[in-house]
Chains A and B, each alone.
Chain A
Amino acid sequence: GAVVSQHPSWVICKSGTSVKIECRSLDFQATTMFWYRQFPKQSLMLMATSNEGSKATYEQGVEKDKFLINHASLTLSTLTVTSAHPEDSSFYICSARADNRRVSGNTIYFGEGSWLTVV
């Protein structure tokens, strides 16, 4: 089946530094990828929709200057948390939509997530 790879699976960084998380679709092309954040014991909150070759679409309340998204190729989207602070510590998960398919049960594939801890 389709695989989405996230890297790193976990990272610890110092407050004020920037961290980049990669999301790759390994065996399919994904013009559209989604980034979610999940705090402990809470649901996945959609942060932004990443579109290859264009600007990401951010959800209300998400700071686009803090969470930089780059979707430079059909198989790679990156999320950079800039000037990270302890409150940014969370589980970040990406998903990719197989090209030319509407969002439905069998067209969205999730990565394993990246744990970010800011100290």
Chain B
Amino acid sequence: QKEVEQDPGPLSVPEGAIVSLNCTYSNSAFQYFMWYRQYSRKGPELLMYTYSSGNKEDGRFTAQVDKSSKYISLFIRDSQPSDSATYLCAPAGGATNKLIFGTGTLLAVQP
């Protein structure tokens, strides 16, 4: 079983739609949960991060963590064409103290 599982997509939505991106993970020691956005041919940029379970909102983005089911989500409201990118989840923490990425979900927001 991979440490982090993520649907690679691609996911295509119309502008203004609500987008739901999800990941599952296997290591219960993970405590920090990050979402990165990566545009084509660029390094990843941190979008949001949460600590432990719960929700965190930042503008149009909401990150949700359910540690009991080892499930993490990113919601994008009022999606824009500029949101078109690959979104990578990356839980971290525990003994290894390194960042492990999911496969990334390619999102395309159609104008």
Q: Which residues of A contact B (CB under 8 A)?
A: 6, 34, 36, 41-46, 49, 91, 93, 95, 102-106, 108, 110-113, 115
Give the interface centre of A103, A106, A112 by most chain B CB atoms within 10 Å: A103
> Known contacts being A43-B102, A44-B88, A49-B98, is A105 close to B41, with CB within 8 Å?
no
Instruction: Collect the chain B residues with CB atoms within 8 Å of residue A91's CB.
Output: 41
Give the interface centre of A34, A49, A91, A108 by most chain B CB atoms within 10 Å: A108
Instruction: Collect the chain A residues with CB atoms within 8 Å of residue B101's CB.
Output: 36, 43-46
Instruction: Collect the chain A residues with CB atoms within 8 Å of residue B42's CB.
Output: 112-113
Can you identify 29 A-B contacts, CB atoms within 8 angstroms?
A34-B99, A41-B106, A42-B103, A42-B104, A43-B88, A46-B98, A46-B101, A91-B41, A93-B43, A102-B97, A103-B32, A103-B97, A103-B99, A104-B34, A104-B49, A104-B93, A105-B32, A105-B34, A105-B50, A105-B51, A106-B46, A108-B34, A108-B92, A108-B99, A110-B44, A110-B46, A112-B43, A113-B41, A115-B41
Of all chain A residues, the one with the shortest Cβ separation from B47 is A105
Q: Which residues of B contact A (CB under 8 A)?
A: 6, 8, 31-32, 34, 36, 41-46, 48-51, 88, 92-93, 97-104, 106
Instruction: Collect the chain B residues with CB atoms within 8 Å of residue A108's CB.
Output: 34, 46, 92, 99
Contact B32 A104 (CB under 8 A): yes
Of all chain B residues, the one with the shortest Cβ separation from A91 is B41
Instruction: Collect the chain A residues with CB atoms within 8 Å of residue B103's CB.
Output: 42-43
Of all chain A residues, the one with the shortest Cβ separation from B4 is A43
Of all chain B residues, the one with the shortest Cβ separation from A45 is B101
> With A and B bound together, what is the CA distance between A42 and B42 in angstroms?
13
